[in-house]
Amino acid sequence: MRSLLRRVFASPQAGLVMVILLLGAVLTAFAGTHPDRLTGLPVNNFLNSHTLLQTATDASFFAIMAVGATVVIISGGIDLSVGSIYALTGVTTALVLRAQGIEAGGTGTVLQAVVVCLGVGLLCGLVNGALVVGLRVHPFIITLGTMWILRGIAFVASKAESILLPSSLTALAKATLGFGQALYPVPLLSMLLTAACGAIYLERTVMGRHVFAVGGNAEASRFSGLRLGRIHIGVFALSGLTAGLAAFLGAGYYGSASCADATGYELYVIASAVVGGASLSGGKGSAVSAMLGALLIVLIRQSIRTLHLDQNYEWIIIGCAIIVAVVLDQSSARLTARRLARQARA
């Protein structure tokens, strides 16, 4: 039992979980209460099923993208275009379904929407990867350019309109699954499943270990026979795929798609990965930690609203969190390097 507890507390996610629980406890203590409409009993403004599930839902859309973006960061790259991929994917899906005159839809409509969303997201990711590898330009520059290009395409294609989606997509994204009225767990379950798949990919597959190897030392990986170009294209494809999945869930949940969707999500996605422990220099990161980082950021946003603080502080706090996370990561790397150097000398 002691060894199990020691392993749990020594895991990379233990610190994040403790911070999330601590922040949740603070919110519970200071959130206040309101009377339940049915029973009249006092209900905590934060610690109730509706608020907790809505908080997880708010985090789920960019947490799913953060899993794919974390894979890119581990490989030593960065993807600034995930929000634009989200917008273009949602708009394309809405336009395709509208062109077919589908209003309500059914199972076939849902499957078609899934295929279009994942297909467009995957294609955008492949384009990003091919440009990075083919032009040999830093991913920051490439994805900064495609961020504007893809959102511009979404703007032109949609004519800046918000396009409604068939009700069958909303019915899927807002399925209660027996949890009760106004409780929609599908985005939360999708986030957990995506994080689990990302963890398995990174930690239990050969391809995942190759991503860590490339991010840790690209030259050594090249001399070891790894195909760096193929790996880089693959990680950007995964990032685009998760953005497409997030767009399918987000557009379905809100019932519409527009070129302005996911504006600014790039900050949240990268912040989730970095706060989750991903190193911007590559070679370090975790899909589960990225999901926890997204939950922590949403809790920070929730705390600002719950405590009735100025919402402009949200950007300040998230920016500070990124800086602190990067500084702690670099300090940890320096301490590890010094310890290894001392051991080598000994």
In this structure, what DSSP letter does residue 159 have? T
pLDDT by residue (tens digit) across 71-119? 999 999 999 999 999 999 999 999 999 988 777 677 888 999 999 999 9
Structure-block tokens of residue 297:
């950021």
Structural domains in the chain plus CATH codes:
47-304 (1.10.3470)
CA distance 115 to 107: 12
pLDDT by residue (tens digit) across 136-195? 999 999 999 999 999 999 999 999 899 999 989 999 999 988 877 778 999 999 999 999
What string of DSSP letters covers 296-333? HHHHHHHHHHHTT--TTHHHHHHHHHHHHHHHHHHHHH
At residue 123 the predicted structure's pLDDT band, cuts being 50, 70 and 90, is very high
Does pTM top 0.75 for this prediction?
Answer: yes
Which residue is it, tokens 């995506």? 194
In this structure, what DSSP letter does residue 81 have? -
Which residue is it, tokens 């999500």? 265
Structure-block tokens of residue 321:
């969190």
What string of DSSP letters covers 250-280? HHHHHTEE-TTTTTTHHHHHHHHHHHTT--T
Range with the poorest average pLDDT among 29-38, 252-261, 271-280, 332-341: 332-341
Q: Is 164 helix (H, G, I), strand (E, B) or coil?
A: strand
Residues 6+ apart with CB under 8 A from 226: 210, 213, 214
At residue 9 the predicted structure's pLDDT band, cuts being 50, 70 and 90, is low
pLDDT (0 to 100) of residue 130: 97
Whether 259 contacts 158, CB under 8 Å:
yes
